[in-house]
Structures are given as C-alpha cells and as structure tokens.
Amino acid sequence: MIDFVGKRNIFILFSIILIVASLVSIFTKGFNLGVEFLGGSEIILRVEADIDEGTVRNIIKDLAPEFENARITKIKSIDDPANISKFSIVVSPKDENGNLKVYAGEEKEQISKKLVQKFEENNLKALVAGFNETSGYAAQEIKNLTWKAIVFTLIAILLYITVRFQFVFGIGAVLALIHDVIITLGFFSFFNYELNVAAIAAVLTLIGYSLNDTIVVYDRIRENLRRLRGKKITDIVNESINQVIKRTINTSLTTFIVVFVLLLFSGNSIKPFAFGMTIGVIIGTYSSLYIASPVVIRWIKR
C-alpha cells in the first residue's frame, strides 16, 4: 500500500510554492488577454512569406496610431505551407472622445487596403483573412460574467458537497478547486498563453473534472469511515486513496493524452483550451489526492 498521506505536509508546501509563484506572475506579468477581454478589433493577416512578429510590427507600426502598440501573435498550424505566415493583430482604436471603438463598414476596407499596401511596399504579398470585433462595453461585460461564473460555480459546488457529504468535505473540495484555478491561471500568465473565452471554458471544464476526481475519493472515504470505525483517520484516508488510485490514474491519463495531442496539433483558436486542460488534468488529479483529502484529515482530527 502506498503511503499517500504520510508526506502530505511536503505536498502542501509544494502547492503553496506553486500558488505563490502563480500569484506573483499574475500580478506582476499579467495575462495575454484575448480580444474578448481587451475590446477592440482583431485582424487576421495572411502573408506569403516566412516572417516573424517583429517584421510585421516594423511594417505596420506607422499605419495608424493604434497600430504602434498592437499585440501581434503568430498563428501556427501544422497544415500551413512553409512559405505562409498567419498573424493575429489586436488593436484598440479610440474615437475623438478617447473611448474604445471597433472598425466598421468602410473603416474595415480602408484598414485592409492600407495593410496590403504596406506589405507590398516591402515586397511582400498579404491578405486580410478576417476581422473580429468586441466593443469596450462587451469586453467589460464578458470579464464580469466570467468571474461571476467561476465564483458562483464554486459556491454551488460547496453547497452540493455539503448536502451530499458534510461541510468539511465541501470546504476541502472548494479549496482544491481554488488551488487548481489559481495554478492553471498562473501557467497561462507565466507562459504568456492567450487568455480568451476558450481558456475560461477550459478552467470551468477543469473545475468539473477535478470535482469528479475529488468526489470519487470522498465517496470512498465516507464508506470507510463507517466500515473502519475506530481506525485512525490517516489510515482510513490512505486506504481509501489506494482503493481508487488505479481508476483515477486511468481516467486522468486517457484524458491527458487526448488534450495533449489537441495542444500539439490543434489550430490557434483551440490551443488555449487544450493548454488549460493539459495543465488542469495534472493539477486537478494532484489536488484530489494531496489537497482535498488532507483538509478532511486535519478537520476530523480536531
């Protein structure tokens, strides 16, 4: 039998280090926010040459004031020819009153023509493949709804676990989920992966996935608390984890393989989701064993 709970303090310390590092990255470096959260316009540009973001920035920086600080990201797809480059250019144009606006109608056509001309002047052939717009009001609304969705989800989970098990189990589950969310967002910040609606969908999916693992462990602990009455709580929890560990590893491994392959071979629009789930599956499985269970041990001991 593997002693999962014997070294729980070491794993809790490791989690604290990860959480602190994640918070430091989030509050100092911040996130590479998608256009849904920034507001403004995203231009998808296709260039018939193998160039990098720096080259694109030098070409477009004097196109209009908003292009000087544009966020440029190269879009990589495995099926693209070697001599084709795709870029996402996110700009935040302002109106005469300094308010955020989006390109519309003739403005789109003018910007597209100017972009193509700029690249022609540098002996490059370019094509504007698409526009995505999000107004400042919509971006703020999406931000507010995103945080509400995460907070309300955690509250609902606390209530559900409290009703199904006990309040202490609910606290353990929510602490494990908060642990998962913070560390996953920390990875987004540290690796500068775009945080967009797809990434938030990954975080919410992660919450459900991690909770499922936690409930499996908790259900076995509850059964063994009745069956092994009189034994030490650490022994009960350790035996419970050993009884479900094979199922947990099999489920997590198969899920990890799928999302990791998706991360390697998917297009740019799916990568934030795949990245969030790849990190989340690992962290979620870890927290079910080493964060959620020790909370129950400490509470029952007291």
pLDDT score of 281: 92
Domain end among 134, 158, 187: 134
Question: CATH no. for residue 88?
Answer: 3.30.70.2040
Structural domain range at position 269: 138-301
Structure tokens given for 239: 């035996």
Question: CATH no. for residue 239?
Answer: 1.20.1640.10
> In this structure, are 56 and 102 located in the same domain?
yes
> In this structure, are 147 and 277 located in the same domain?
yes
pLDDT score of 214: 85
Q: What is the mean pLDDT of each run of 10 residues along the chain (302 residues)?
A: 77 91 92 77 84 86 80 73 80 72 76 86 85 66 78 82 78 87 93 86 88 85 80 83 86 91 81 92 89 78 66
pLDDT score of 216: 85
> In this structure, are 192 and 47 located in the same domain?
no
Residue 39 neighbours by CB under 8 Å, 6+ apart: 92, 100, 102, 134, 135, 136, 137, 138, 139, 140
d(CA 293, CA 237): 7
What is the 8-class DSSP label of residue 294?
Answer: H
pLDDT score of 108: 80
Total of domains in the chain: 2
How many CA atoms lie less than 13 Å away from 87 in the CB half-sphere?
Answer: 26
pLDDT score of 80: 64
The dihedral region occupied by 123, where left means phi > 0, alpha psi between -120 and 50, and beta the remainder, is left
